[in-house]
Structure 1
Amino acid sequence: MVAKMIGKNIASTYAKLEKLTMLAKKRTLFDDRPQEIQELTYIIKGDLNALNQHIARLQEISKDQRRTVSGKHLVSHSSNMVLALQSKLASMSTDFKQILEVRTENLKHQKSRRDQFGQAPVSISSVSPATAKQGSLLLSEENQEVSIDMSSANDTSPLLGGGSTSQRIQTQQQLAIYDESDNYVQQRAETMQNIESTIVELGGIFQQLAHMVKEQEEIVERIDTNIQDAELNIEAAHGEILKYFQSVSKNRWLMIKIFGVLIFFFIFFIVFMT
């Protein structure tokens, strides 16, 4: 039952992995779905951890069977089943790691294209310190500032140090673009950190799998040694059976000879005594 459940979960995780592969390989900014990719990454990571725990539990069950069950065929089948599930999990974990690496490369590619063809004409260094500090005030009072009479365009602004309304609006737009770009960079940085931490966790899964595979390898080697010993014992038993058969055959011929001699004397006595 445990192996059947693990098989179903592996098939389900493979389907999610294929969907993540399709999303992660998209390199365009307009077709990118970071939220969906992040959710799938989190779900698949949890599935891999759960599968690893289930396979470890199945391995413990297999060990208990080796101690209690005498049938070597059943023990060998159980060990082979655990090895097959471990192999599938290792292959799936490797694919997941490769997909995350592809996603990382695509994020770097998107960042370079955004830096190259970005719409922000100026950097934050082109905005005065006073404007940067009071950017939120400018954004909150945008409607009031736009409605100022044009006759007061020559008056000095307490916020911009003498700039006109059009200059204030342009500065507000620049600050909004900078905030949007800064949020984008921050989101991409968090995504990269999540991918790196996921790859590190996958390394832990690989280590656990390597340990379990090593244990299974030792078990298979012991089973193979037992099978070889059994073959030697069977050959020795076959030799003993042949020796016994030859001995019985010789005894049979001896009994036939003795029986023939007895018949001969019996006939002799009957013929000559009568």
Structure 2
Amino acid sequence: MDKKLLKILRSFQKNEITEYYVYKLLAKITRGSNRKILQEIAGDELKHYSILKNYSNKDVKPKYLKIIWHLILFFIFGITFSLNAMEKGEEKAQEKYKVLKDEITEIEKIILDENIHEKKLLSLIDEEKVKYISSMVLGLNDALVELTGTLAGLTFAFQNSKLVALSGLITGIAASFSMSASEYLSQRADENAQNPIKSAVYTGIAYIFTVFLLVLPYLVLSNPFFALIFLLFIALIIIVFFSYFVSVVQDKSFKMYFLEMFLISFGVMGVSFVIGIIAKKLFNIEIL
């Protein structure tokens, strides 16, 4: 095997041993049926590493930073997100595996394991966060659309940061309870739905969390228009973050999901800002 292919081989070998340790560590800190699933996947990764080692004739060390990174993702976002994020990286690697097809007879088996066996195992991962992701999406999306528009409109109508913050908090908190109640009733009416109470709680938490993030600039900054600029930035960060989260967990297109959330949220915000301008001119209201 020439030096170029040997370098590629050892790179794949390093990936396999890294993923082995990730799955092994996650299995140790996970309970229930998920632990067995993770142990099985870890075993497959170790087998792949051993196959590659037979051709490279060398042990390689794992990527410690990658192991730490996926453990951080696990603790922050949950097991499904962490594993799906790692699987997306493996999908890219699988294309490169094909360059070794003529050199390693078992390469087809490794690709088959990555494409079929591990995907089936990962689909069995059971996590509450993922079950109620639609409820979180409902709460976050609704808060983004309503609050960004409301705060943008109030910014021009009132031109007072504290008043905008107070109005936004009252509106947002009241709306979060209303949205939670609506989600509870909706899930209650659906015989195949998840637990109605948990659905309502996830919706409410996502809504209130988003409300506080959006109102925060008006509590910190005295200039309402500077606060509005920071509001736009925070809204954009929330959209990017949640679009990435959903795209990884549900295997959707990040670009399409992001674009949809962005156009809806900022479109409503623009319309509300115009309404605020019209209301101020129409009613000639001045707030000192």
TM-score clears 0.5: no
Larger Rg computed on CA atoms: 1
**TM-score normalized with structure 2 length:** 0.29
